[in-house]
Structure formats: structure tokens, C-alpha cells
Amino acid sequence: MPTYTPGQVVEKTGFTLDTLRYYEKIGLLDGVARTSGGQRQYHEDDIGWLEILRCLRDTGMPIARMREFAELTRDAGTIAERIALLEEHDRDVEERITTLLRQRDHIRGKIAYYRSVQG
């Protein structure tokens, strides 16, 4: 199984080294292997997990909820709770999308107005 250095993970994921360390410190990134010299050594599963974290973060999930989700994923008996958490987040994302679309329509209306009065 291939392993990745922290620098390679930064390149693959776009996270900074500081973010990787922070995520590990607060429990979002669990069980990162280390070399005999103590350097972090990441696996494909870690990369996949970071992609999920990126998605949750980029869609506005607060760190506290991300931590809750991470804790749930460590217990095989929490599938229903994970689904509920993700469904709640999905509803939040949908509400933000709806709001953004309304706001975009307002902006486009203003653009149309300014074009109509432009001389």
C-alpha cells in the first residue's frame, strides 16, 4: 500500500501542513501512522478521509459538527446517526443554495437595470 509524506498530502489535497496538524490535534484525522523517525506517513484511506473533510468544510459544516461526524465514523454501530447528521447538513446546504440563487437573481436584476439606464 503506497504511503505519502505530509508534503505529498498537501499537494494531493490542497490542505496546508498546519491544517493537517490541526485536524490531527482536534481528532478529525485519527491514527496517522509515523515512520520510525516520527514523520507522519499517510495512506490512501487518509487521503479519502481528507477529501470528505474538504467537502464538509467547503459546504459550511462547522468544525464541531465535523468532529462529531468523525467520532461517529469510528463506531460501526452509528450508521443511522451519520445519515441523520449528513441529511441535516444537506438541508443546510440546500437552504444556502436557495438563498444564493435568490441573491443572484437580485444582482442580475440590478445589472439589467443599470444596463437599461446606461447611456
pLDDT of 49? 97
Report the CATH number that the domain containing residue 37 is assigned in CATH: 1.10.1660.10
pLDDT of 112? 97
| Domain span holding position 60 | 3-117
Give which of 7, 87, 12 is closest to 54, Cα–Cα: 12
pLDDT of 1? 82
Structural domains counted in the chain: 1
| Rounded-to-integer distance, Cα 96 and Cα 94, Å | 5
Instruction: pLDDT tens for the chain, 119 residues: list them.
Output: 899 999 999 999 999 999 999 999 999 999 899 999 999 999 999 999 999 999 999 999 999 999 999 999 999 999 999 999 999 999 999 999 999 999 999 999 999 999 999 97
